[in-house]
Structure formats: C-alpha cells, structure tokens
A and B are shown apart, each in its own frame.
Chain A
Amino acid sequence: MRKFMFQFSGLMVAALVFIAKISPLCMIGHYQSEVPVSLRK
C-alpha cells in the first residue's frame, strides 16, 4: 500500500510538472499565478 501511494504521488508530481511546462499562460480563470523563472520562455 505504501509503495503504491509512493508511486501514485510520483506519477502525480510528474503529471503536474508536465502541465506546468505546457501551460504557462492562465487558461480559464482571470488570475495568473507567478510563473517560476525556470518555466519562463
């Protein structure tokens, strides 16, 4: 169970970082979170 949780959270981290990389501009809402310097293109 612990291993599964670890793998699941790892996948979640990878998915979130991928989303951050492909979507630097805010899409639906009207609030822009500060884009990390490493993601600025």
Chain B
Amino acid sequence: MSYLGFSTKWAASLAKIHHLNEEKQTELTYAIEVVTLNSMNVLMTLALGWALGVCGETAATLLTMAGFRHTAGGGHSESPWRCALVTITIFPLLALAARSVSTWPPYYISLLSLGAILFGFACIFLYAPADNPKAPIVSPVKRQKLKRAAILIMSIISIITIALLFGSRGNTPMICMCLVLSTLWASFNLTPWGHHLWHFIDKIGSSSERRCMK
C-alpha cells in the first residue's frame, strides 16, 4: 500500500496512542488521505468559484458529481496533485459554462438537458460501476448494488433537472444547467474516452521529467 507522507505519519501517531493493529492503521491512513484530499479539493474549488462569482453554481456541480461518482465511479488520475488541479479548475469552469448556456433559448436548454439525461443513463447502464486497480469491486453483489444505486441517483438528478426546467424563478435555469453539465462530465468520466483523457493528463510532462532525472 502506498499513501502520501502526511497521512502515513498522522495515522502512525494515532495508532500508537490508541494501540491499533496494522490493519486498522492502514484503514486509518486511507481514511485520513481520502478525507483530507476531498476536503481540500472542495474548499479550493469553492474558493475559486467564489472568486469567479459562481460559488453557488460550483457547489451545485460538486453535489451532482459527488452523488454520481459515489456510486458509479469513473476515471482517475494517478497523481493527487494533477487531480487537485483539474478538480479545482473544472467545476468553476462548468459553473461559468452553465451561466453562459442558461441564456440560450429554452428549446436548446431542454434539448441539452434531455441529451445529458440520456447520455447519463446510457453510460451508467454500459459502464457503471467503473472501478480501478486501486479500488477494485470484488463482490458481484456489491457491483449490482452500486449499479442500482447509480441508476437511482441518476433518476433523482433527472427529476430535479426536469423540475428545474419548468421553473423560471431566479437562478433555476443556471442551477439546472449546472446539473446538466456536471452530469455530462461525470458520465464522460465513465467512458473509455474519459479513462484515456486521464491517462493523457497523467502523461503530460512525464517524458520531460524522465529526461531531467537522467
């Protein structure tokens, strides 16, 4: 098991205080890493969203993504820092795009929403749950449960999207587009192209790094 330095050290000191065995210490290390990285990503993403004037919309994209990925999974980066960089930039960008798209005529907004819902369901039926070597889903029962949960989450997102389509008060068109665009991004992450994109992001700069090391 390989974890980042801060989580290993923190878990080791907590395990020493509470006399935990090796198995519990590894679980603790994993939990510290997951909680810290996710919290930092969320805070930095919301901070950038706030700086760009789209904090609420960024929160809406994050919530949609969290619900979707918790059950469906998706493509991942090999590096926590590259992941953080993409996460911190992509959600405020989606929120800004949602603001722009929400000014389109209602016909196009409805068409885009319908497309996102269909694409989301298609990706879930074809690829969810998308695990990876670092988090394999070993039990077929668990796999089926996650698939059912992903379909349920996608149904809830679809109902909220359709309800927001009929609302014209305040920010509803913008929030609706946040849901639509983050559904498209999360669904794309499930596809083989999404995995290729992350592989490509992981490869950026790696050849020059290797040259420097030589």
Interface residues of A (CB under 8 A from B): 6, 9-10, 12-13, 16-17, 19-21, 23-36, 38-41
Contact = CB atoms under 8 A, between A and B. Distances in A.
20 contacts: A12-B14, A13-B14, A13-B20, A19-B35, A20-B28, A20-B30, A20-B31, A24-B135, A25-B129, A26-B38, A26-B73, A28-B38, A28-B41, A28-B65, A28-B87, A30-B198, A34-B135, A36-B23, A36-B26, A41-B138
Q: Which 9 A-B pairs have the closest CB atoms?
A: A31-B83, A20-B31, A16-B31, A30-B83, A36-B26, A35-B135, A34-B134, A32-B76, A31-B80
Contact of B69 (A9, A13, A28): A28
A9 B42 CA distance: 24
Residue picked from A13, A19, A23, A33, most chain B C-beta under 10 Å: A33
A30 B52 CA distance: 22
Interface in B58-74: 62, 65-66, 69-71, 73-74
A28 B62 CA distance: 7
Interface of B: 1-3, 14, 17-18, 20, 23-24, 26-28, 30-35, 37-38, 41-42, 45, 62, 65-66, 69-71, 73-80, 82-84, 86-87, 129, 131-132, 134-139, 142, 146, 189, 198
